[in-house]
């Protein structure tokens, strides 16, 4: 069992912060001396285990944010297609597709993704994609 000063030094939390956490019920001392009111804080191992769990949870959240940012940069760095240079046929495995069709400007497309993913619920996963059909599009028979 550590004194509040030892616990403060080992966790890098100030004694004042530890007292505030005690008052809020966040970190409660293991025992308080009834005669002096001196606080002996919780076991360091227990505290560090809880802190590690919190850090792991934050890492999971931050990895998800990082992945979304990476997708943005990957899609933004793709060269713009001119003519038929970037067009290719690809066969993909059978998959469920949730779609919406609209006629608007290309730069307004992002506003349609949020409601679409909300409607898809737990089935909405993977990167979003768009298909553009312009007046010059002509399907070539296979």
Asked if residue 87 is part of any domain, the answer here is no
Tens of pLDDT along 114-128? Answer: 888 888 887 777 777
pLDDT attached to residue 71: 79
pLDDT attached to residue 59: 93
Asked if residue 110 is part of any domain, the answer here is no
Asked if residue 119 is part of any domain, the answer here is no
Asked if residue 26 is part of any domain, the answer here is yes
Instruction: Give 137 or 55, the one with higher predicted confidence.
Output: 55
pLDDT attached to residue 81: 45
pTM score, whole prediction: 0.32
Instruction: Give 57 or 41, the one with higher predicted confidence.
Output: 57
Asked if residue 77 is part of any domain, the answer here is no
Q: Does residue 41 contact residue 2 with C-beta atoms inside 8 Å?
A: yes
Tens of pLDDT along 5-25? Answer: 888 888 888 889 888 888 887
Asked if residue 50 is part of any domain, the answer here is yes
Q: Which CATH number does the domain housing residue 64 bear?
A: 1.10.1660.10
Tens of pLDDT along 80-100? Answer: 544 555 667 778 788 777 888
- Max alpha carbon distance in the chain (Å)? 92
Asked if residue 95 is part of any domain, the answer here is no
Domain interval for residue 39: 2-72
**CA–CA gap between residue 64 and residue 13 (Å, rounded):** 29
- Among residues 18, 70, 62, 12, which one has the least CA distance to residue 40? 18
Structural domain total, the chain: 1
């Amino acid at each position: 069992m550590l004194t509040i000063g030892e616990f403060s030094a080992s966790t890098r939390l100030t004694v004042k912060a530890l007292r505030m956490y005690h008052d809020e019920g966040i970190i409660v001392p293991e025992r308080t001396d009834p005669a002096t009111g001196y606080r002996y804080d919780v076991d360091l191992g227990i505290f560090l285990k809880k802190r590690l769990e919190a850090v792991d949870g934050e890492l999971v959240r931050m990895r998800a944010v990082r992945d979304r940012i990476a997708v943005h940069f990957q899609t933004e760095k793709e060269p713009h297609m001119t003519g038929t240079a970037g067009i290719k046929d690809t066969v993909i495995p059978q998959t469920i597709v949730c779609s919406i069709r609209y006629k608007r400007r290309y730069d307004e497309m992002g506003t349609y993704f949020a409601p679409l993913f909300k409607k898809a619920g737990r089935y909405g996963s993977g990167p979003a994609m768009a298909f553009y059909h312009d007046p010059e599009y002509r399907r070539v028979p296979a």
